[in-house]
Amino acid sequence: AEMISSRTKILILVVGILLKGTSESVVFAFAFTTKSRLTTGQGRGSPSKRIEKKHFSFLHTSPSHSPSSVLSKVSDTEDEQKETPTSESSITIPTPTPIYNEFDQILQSRRTINNFQPNLPDNWEEVLQNAIQSAIHAPNHKRTEPWRFHLLGPETIQKVCELNASIVAEKKGEKAGEKKLERWLQMPGWLVVTCRTTASVSESASATDSTSNSSMGDPMSIEREDYAACCCAVQNLCLSLHNQGFGTKWTTGPVNFDERFAEIVGLNIGESSDDGDSGDSDDSDDNDDDDCIKEFVVGTIWFGIPEKPATAPNKVHEVKDVLIFHT
């Protein structure tokens, strides 16, 4: 009775497993606690081994945790994760959710604001910094991050306004200049957005010459890529401010491209990109087109709380007029 064959033990284990799988709430336990000898050879002096105390137990308390149920859950998960090919005819456009509708409303309701309340709210700096954070997430092909944002203070604003008034007065007379000065001084917030790009000296002989196209005429130039990125950044900026109840006006004019404006704001209009480490001096004369940093104005952004809601202008073209289908 002390000896139990291997086949008998295996049979008992199989029976226990079967009982476990078919019972709803059965606890089956098999304990083999007797010391048995397992004869591994025949005849006198054959080696033998002892199997010490072993405990085999099978616990099943709930049908929901049966092996079959667990396996089915895993299978279901795997089936859900499998990508099933979808025919082109079965593709459907999802119904826009409220958050998408709200986002589109922000995009479509932004307007250029011409008249602002005289004072900025107390939290304007926080709102502006958040808007700039959104601005610098604009698309940027070469990852040059060329945008710069110059926040003008009262003294700088006064100088810019006086410079612009003098430019207007030279063309249209003193009264026109005075009127323009009064008008510009009413703008509560001033942010000058610039593009700080790298170009060869030969391409940027005059950074403030509005008649010089430099490398902007080349559609593949870095300067053109950077300008496009800065325009995207301005759009992000204006949309973020609009979402916070602020209005904006993106403006450019002769004053922005005047050398005196660059001096007032402190723009880098031809700074060498050489950081002082020229490397091997023997090769310094081989580079005829040294790179320089060129910073030019993308626009002056006036911002503040709108004096009144802006009226939406009528669009000349509808979607059907601008959306062109190609085969």
Whole-angstrom Cα distance, residue 130 to residue 49? 77
What lies within 8 Å, CB to CB, of 307 at 6+ separation is 113, 115, 116, 117
The mean pLDDT value for 208-237 works out to 79
Query: How do residues 175-187 score in pLDDT, each as one tens digit?
Result: 999 999 999 999 9
Mean pLDDT, the chain, whole residue set: 74
- Model confidence at 254: pLDDT above 70: yes
Tokens of 105: 């409303």
Query: How do residues 127-150 score in pLDDT, each as one tens digit?
Result: 999 999 999 999 998 889 999 999
Whole-angstrom Cα distance, residue 37 to residue 48? 7
> Considering the entire predicted model, what is its pTM?
0.62
Residues making up the chain, counted from first to last: 327
The mean pLDDT value for 47-69 works out to 37
The answer to whether 241 and 303 have CB atoms below 8 angstroms apart is: yes
Whole-angstrom Cα distance, residue 278 to residue 58? 77
pLDDT, position 20: 53
Question: Which one has a higher pLDDT value, 155 or 88?
Answer: 155
Tokens of 206: 């005059």
Q: In which band, very low, low, confident or very high, does the pLDDT at 201 lie, cut at 50, 70 and 90? A: very low
Backbone angles phi, psi at 146, to 5 degrees: -80, -10
Alpha-carbon dihedral of residues 172, 175, 179, 180, nearest 10 degrees?
30
The mean pLDDT value for 223-248 works out to 95
- Model confidence at 76: pLDDT above 70: no
Q: How far is CA 240 from CA 96, 114, 126, 247, in A?
A: 21, 18, 12, 10
What SS3 class is residue 176?
helix
Taking the CA of residue 319 as centre, how many other CA atoms within 13 Å lie in the half-sphere pointing to its CB? 0
Query: How do residues 286-312 score in pLDDT, each as one tens digit?
Result: 444 456 778 999 999 999 999 998 887
pLDDT, position 214: 56
pLDDT, position 38: 41
Whole-angstrom Cα distance, residue 208 to residue 257? 6
- Model confidence at 24: pLDDT above 60: no
Query: How do residues 40-53 score in pLDDT, each as one tens digit?
Result: 444 444 444 443 33
The answer to whether 306 and 249 have CB atoms below 8 angstroms apart is: no
Tokens of 302: 């006036």
Greatest CA span in the chain, whole angstroms? 130
pLDDT, position 290: 55
- Model confidence at 118: pLDDT above 50: yes
pLDDT, position 222: 83
The mean pLDDT value for 85-107 works out to 69
Whole-angstrom Cα distance, residue 180 to residue 197? 32
- Which pairing describes strands 189-200 and 291-304: parallel, antiparallel, or unpaired? antiparallel
Whole-angstrom Cα distance, residue 116 to residue 104? 24
Closest CA to 299 of 270, 262, 258, 256: 256
Beta-bridged to residue 294, according to DSSP, are: 197
The mean pLDDT value for 267-289 works out to 52
Whole-angstrom Cα distance, residue 221 to residue 215? 6
